[in-house]
Amino acid sequence: MEPRRKHYRIEVESGRFLKLNRFRNRIRPEKLRTFLVKYAPTHAYMSVLGWLFPERVAGRQKANRAYPLDGTFLLDMDVKTDRFHCHMLNRRGVCEGCLRLAQFNTLNACNIVEENYDEYLVVFSGRKGFNILLPFSAEDWTHYRPTDPLKTQAAARFKYALYLKHRGVWFDFKTSIDPLRVHSVPSSLNAETNLIVKPIGRRADMEALSIGRILDLANPTRFIHPPEFAPIKVTLKPGLG
């Protein structure tokens, strides 16, 4: 999905947003990790589109100056499901009932996605549900207009989303069709729950995992090494040995 063509932005603790591509146009995953360690952001985002000039990405009116390329289609499965069950948050602020319903919904969506795409990635969002990311070419769904590539991307995403909706896939239609939307960087942290935005894999990988196991894999504390203690010396009193 060509990460060097993506536009990256982070939200720092003060609430201010920084565009990382202002510092470097093409950002490799290794350099992105360096930026995240340096700034310790509360959120890290990346664009769904690839860009010829990621450093030029600004508002919607100026997006064509950056020249959008094919990128990623993101199916946002974080839909409201609390009306179907008793909504209860665990100690990390996650409702496991919502996640079970979202998992079932995501598995159904994967079945439909696999009819057109062999490669895709299911990602746990770190809080409410899951996302499905797949490499997306606008020309597969609409006629390409070289004079307005952004409108071409918007039209193609709308057509594919409409196809999925007619097939019975339940997802956030409005956010999924937006070519200028951003999403959390996989393997970064969700600031609201402090859980990892965890890549899971494909449908078979997700079917093999329970919600409890997914939350365990998304728990960052397992990567923190416990402190090493010096050996404890025990001296027994005379007559007790």
Distance CA 186, CA 240 (A): 57
End-to-end CA distance of the chain: 67
- CATH topology for the 3-222 domain: DNA primase, PRIM domain (3.90.920)
**Is the Cβ–Cβ distance between 23 and 68 less than 8 Å?**
no
Q: How many helices (H) does the chain have, and how many strands (E)?
A: 7, 12
> Which residue has 């565009």 as its token pair?
19
pLDDT digits (tens, 9 = 90+) for 141-196: 998 888 889 999 999 999 999 999 999 998 999 999 999 999 999 999 888 888 99
Distance CA 222, CA 227 (A): 13
Confidence (pLDDT) at 233: 56
pLDDT digits (tens, 9 = 90+) for 36-53: 989 989 899 999 999 999
* Residue 80 banded pLDDT, cuts 50, 70, 90: low
Average of per-residue pLDDT across 60-71: 84
Given a cut of 60, whether residue 34 has pLDDT beyond it is yes
Environment class of 232 (CB within 10 Å of its CB; exposed 0-12, middle 13-18, buried 19+):
exposed
Q: What is the pTM of this model?
A: 0.84
